[in-house]
Amino acid sequence: MDDTQRETLFLTIKAVIDGIIADKRENPKNINRLNSFKGRINIGLHVEENEIMWINLVAKDGEYVVGKGALEEHDLELIADPEDLMFFCNGQYSVTHMMMKKNRFGKRKLRFKGRAYGKLLALPKILVLDKK
């Protein structure tokens, strides 16, 4: 994967996350959850068999910032194929599907590390589009 493809993938994932958060802010029942969620999350995009591209999501005081690279200090680390992550975010794949099924590389669609299980459970409420 060359630098142009990496930049395009980063901008696409960033736009997806920013769009979902903006969409959730339109519904008043989500405001409290969005404002109270705090976390530093590394998201590994499994782009090739032996290559993971790292981005991060920092949430604090209702502000969400998506950045490049992995954070040294983080609460949670997720690894997913970018396509699977997109299907998860738009609601086509459930948490159970992501945890139990395998991706195109033979790994689980969603892998995680860390002890912040509360953040892991809250993340779908933040990153998955609401059904209309």
User: What is residue 132's predicted lDDT score, i.e. its pLDDT?
Assistant: 65
All structural domains of the chain, each given as residue ranges with its CATH number in brackets, are: 3-127 (3.30.1050.10)
What is the band of 1 on the pLDDT scale with cuts at 50, 70, 90?
Answer: confident
Cβ–Cβ under 8 Å, residues 130 and 111: no
Write out pLDDT tens, residues 107-122.
Answer: 999 999 988 888 888 8
pLDDT in tens, 17-64: 999 999 999 999 999 999 999 999 999 999 999 999 999 999 999 999
pTM for the model stands at 0.91
Q: Which of 93, 96, 68 has its CA nearest to residue 83?
A: 93
